Chain A
Amino acid sequence: MTSALAFDLALAALVLAIATLTIAAREAMSAVISFIAYGLLLSLAWVRLRAPDVALTEAAIGAGVTGLLLLGAAATIGDRQAGAAPPLALMLAAGLACALVASGLAATTLVLLPEPAPTLAPPAMASLATTGLGNPVTAVLFVYRALDTLLEKVVLVLALLGVWSLAPDRVWGGVARLGPDAPPRAMLVFLAQLLPPVGMVIAIYMFWTGADHPGGAFQGGAILAAMWLIVLTARLADMPATSHPGLRLLVLAGPMLFAAIGFAGWALADAFLAYPEGYAKPLIILAEAGLTLSIAATLACLVAGPATRTPPP
């Protein structure tokens, strides 16, 4: 057995064990904490699958930002009055059904996947030179399938609209509250003062390097959002009111800039979201810069949730 195989086996076993712990944990809070550990381990599996871009996204958004969101919910709700567990017979039946589904999927993935595997890597690499980019994943996201990426940003904005519209009428357009009511601990305040300058540099580097190396707008935006969230949790700054025009502009700026570049493609390169010859890379960097800021603002607002306090006068 080679060391790589042993590592993969150990990693897969650990991922499965922690996923089982997440499902089986007695308390909601322990389930959420194991879920964060699970997400971080899963990003290692993504590295082993030679997908470092996905690994970064999984660690930053799948484990980090989702984990923070779930931590807040678990702290608020806890385990109060959640309803009774289903009877044992139902549990066994569900377990059997899920085991069947899992073995069917395992059989499909291990045996039935076509050989040789279909791949779009050669055409993606063949056109890479015309985009001026070095990272094929970024090329797929911003050149070949740019419409998906634009619509995904719209999904983020729509989700934020949905979350904000859950605010009760009396605090409409008010301020979202993050973290417990108790004053923050000195350690958290210290970290919130220490980390953001470093995190912002890493976020900008990650956005910038995304053109040629693993990274990009999503990962950079998630790190930027995390920096904003730690400052908010430590109460070093207040969340702007959801009715604040600047915040709304920040959320919309990235998708609108990207859509504007897309419409300009009609005039300059005869297709929606097409880039004129030789200008692909600068336009993509411009769109990514706007999107990084908008993703950061949207992710942070989604974690902070709907308004809970009336807006300041």
Chain B
Amino acid sequence: MIISSAPMRISFAGGGTDLPDFYTRYPGRVISTAIDKFIFIAINHAPYTNHVAARYSLSEEVSHPSELKNTRIREALLDLGIEKNIEIGSFAPIPARTGLGSSSSFSVALLKGLYAYIGKKLDKREIAEAACRLEIDLVKEPIGKQDQYAAAFGGFNMLQFNPDGTVDVEPVLLDYKKRMALESHLILFFLGTTRDASSVLAEQKANTQKNFETLKRMSDSVPVLKEALLHADFKSAGEMLLEGWTMKKQLASAISNPGIDRLYEIALDCGAWGGKVLGAGGAGCLMMLAPLERRAAVVETLTAGAKAEGFEAACEIPVGFVQTGAEIVVNSYGR
């Protein structure tokens, strides 16, 4: 058996500038960090069965990969020419569609594992590019490239999406004190509902022309946010998140809704500096930065507020940042 893993991520700014409609005209930029929540993929060689099995939230057993409902597993197996005798399962600590980039983490871990299965080792960049190709070209998701790079590389990075399609990965070199201080100031608040990123992103993609100037400002704000983080100026960083969130809401109608807007407001009233809804928006996780002395109060207020808005399962998710990217955890078929 092979077990591979890839981390989920928190994106601080620049989401949407990783779509080709934008970055082919102006360099897109995103700043994000990998977090200590991992997707695990288990791949089993089953030589005495003729089937292909995929076990995730559904359990599928088919005679040929082309019959699979799971689009990522289907296209990956077809692309690699793996037609039978394989079982693939996925495991995660957090439900899918929460804005933590989990679907791309899934693709990254899947490809890392499948390449190991056919005896090939890929480095971080190769895995990131393979995952972009799988999701964007083969599965035809209307998504950008930031999550595949975040999951494959791990760590805290500023990504730049160049007009020629290349991606620069520049590490944000926070020392442990600043990194852990930022973790303490950060609140990751799970709203308990999920959404399909594609519908929000499809609208956002259609609006790229209309939103070009806003996206440009978002891209240009990324290096400024990076400097604030490097100086451990989390108050300024939080205020920039507030500004970024205000801009992001203009990109597509479904990014926010009145319930989320109200929660954001009460967090600010309670002393939080700023934040954003993670991922394509609409639901998922609310991420806020707050002064340490207000942190517990903000969490308490959000929990009560979320209940009042009908987010019954809402809760804080404790989170740490990790350097780890895509990994092979176990490979019993040899190295």
- A, B: real partners: no
